[in-house]
Structure 1
Amino acid sequence: MSDAAIVSYPWYIALYKGFLSAIYGFIAVYGMFIIVIKNLIMGQGLIYEVSGPVGIASMVGDSARMGINYLISTAAMLSITLAVINIVPFPALDGGRAVFIIVEKIIRRPVPIKYEQLAHTAGFVLLMVLVVVVTVKDVLNIFK
């Protein structure tokens, strides 16, 4: 078992340390996300555990039982994770919208709205299917 401790800093150092921690967390989450996508594309499956709403609720509950500091840390990591996922260039996410804006700048005219709507609708449907699949996996894990 590893030793863990909560370290307190003066507020001005804590702001700096918190900022650095958020940057390191963002980089770590982004790196794991890239590995997960690469493994899925290469057919290697999920090496890292992926959780949906049920798994996240369980994780938040565990953090809450450990204390407010752990709960706040978990909330921060969830926010960072959502930010990373949201900037992925996938239709229906902000990153997907950014791709359309970049394409419009390159071709110097707007992408026809019906194509953009179709892409975002298809992306949204795929995301919802993924949410359902991951949620079912989470529920099945509860009963194991």
Structure 2
Amino acid sequence: MRLRRLAADQRGASAVEFALVAVPLLMLIFGTIEYGRLMWTRQALQESAIAGARCVALRSLSCTLDGDFDLASARAFIRQTAQGWLVALDDTDITVSDNVTCGGVDGFVNVRIAHEFLTPVPAALVGLAEGTALSSSACFPNQSAPAGGA
């Protein structure tokens, strides 16, 4: 008699169903959020590299030292640009090369950014938890490089 009553009792069924569905649902939600953050960070790195290469190549005062190439000023400008995208970079993440070859053509400024994307979500929910290496680079024609025929 008690066994029949226990089998017919439906109280708590919703809690059990929710417990079975909650873990995959949370994995989907947090995985989507973290993948979006990863794409955002990748775009921020690319935009920062482009802005840094352009700024150094045009010898803008915001990323040079009185119009002359200065690595520290260029890195500070790139870090500030990335910070505007809510991405924190270290000087070790940024490589700036003045007057190099890009795509087989001389006279370019090249900026490379390598960054480790870390997520606060536990490894059980997202495979990105150990960190994902991201990198971006950009070239821009160096406006201070000597002209080829002059």
Q: Which range, TM-score by smaller chain?
A: 0.3 to 0.5
Higher helix share: 1
Please say which structure displays the higher CA radius of gyration: 2
Q: Structure 2 length normalisation: TM-score? A: 0.32
Q: Structure 1 length normalisation: TM-score? A: 0.34
